[in-house]
Amino acid sequence: MITVITCSVADCGRPKRTKGWCQKHYMRYVRTGSPNIVRKIPRHLSAICSVDTCDRPTRARGWCHVHWRRWKCSGDPNAGQLHRDEISETDRFDRYVDRLASGGCWEWTGVLTRSSSGGGYGKFRSSGKSVLAHRYSYLRHVGPIPDDLQLDHLCRNRKCVNPDHLEPVTPMENILRGESFSAMNAKKTHCIHGHEFSAANTRIYYHAGRPHRACRHCARNRTQTAKAGKA
């Protein structure tokens, strides 16, 4: 008959594994320095959830992770868990809008676009598609946007979704109103050599799908200089 050596801790009938203890008490020793000490709960998890029927440790605002998530989704920690399909699209949109931002802006607090040139605009999931939050807000509160127009932020705040701060303009007008490198160049009335960008003196060409201006006077000067160098 095989004799099973049990854990040296009193009243523990588990088989011995290491240092005379079972696996359970040995792991307690590794974590706390004693096989009789249960692992301590971190200080930030030491309190119990403030919901009467819950005994989970707190996570935030005095609630456990479950009730904190319910509060974040519905505003009530005691509400049943809400799924996206149970929340109207407009209510879901409004949860990400801060209407108390400075300057009368309605700042988007959700996901933002990321781009070296056109980042910082709000993104929203509508009808299974990702759309720009400010366009969604304008469509909702004002109406359709003409196909040949873009929405310009009058407040210059890309996160703003206040329809009163949005104006439909042409792509060129939108560029001219901006503060980008392209906008600064588009606002110039003369070339680097002082020649006016008049209708007769300006040649429009496209590079990488974008329109650019060229000074005809400078082009003639370069041609004459090149010919003189070959003579």
Q: How far is CA 100 from the centre of its chain?
A: 19
Encode the chain (231 residues) as per-residue pLDDT tens digits: 567 788 888 888 888 888 888 888 887 777 677 888 775 555 554 467 777 767 677 777 777 888 888 877 777 787 765 555 567 889 989 989 999 988 999 999 988 998 766 689 999 988 888 899 999 999 999 999 999 999 999 999 999 999 999 999 998 788 777 766 666 777 788 999 999 989 899 998 888 777 788 999 999 999 999 888 876
For the chain, the residue count is 231
Amino acid at residue number 201: N
Using a cut of 0.85, tell me whether the model's pTM lies above it.
no
Of the candidates 156, 142, 171, the residue with the CA atom closest to the CA atom of residue 107: 156
Of the candidates 142, 160, 147, 53, the residue with the CA atom closest to the CA atom of residue 101: 160
| Residues 108 and 133: beta-carbon distance below 8 Å | yes
Domain boundaries defined on the chain: 1-40, 44-87, 88-221
| Residues 93 and 136: beta-carbon distance below 8 Å | yes
Amino acid at residue number 224: Q
| Residues 97 and 109: beta-carbon distance below 8 Å | yes
**Residues 6 or more apart whose Cβ sits within 8 Å of residue 44:** 58
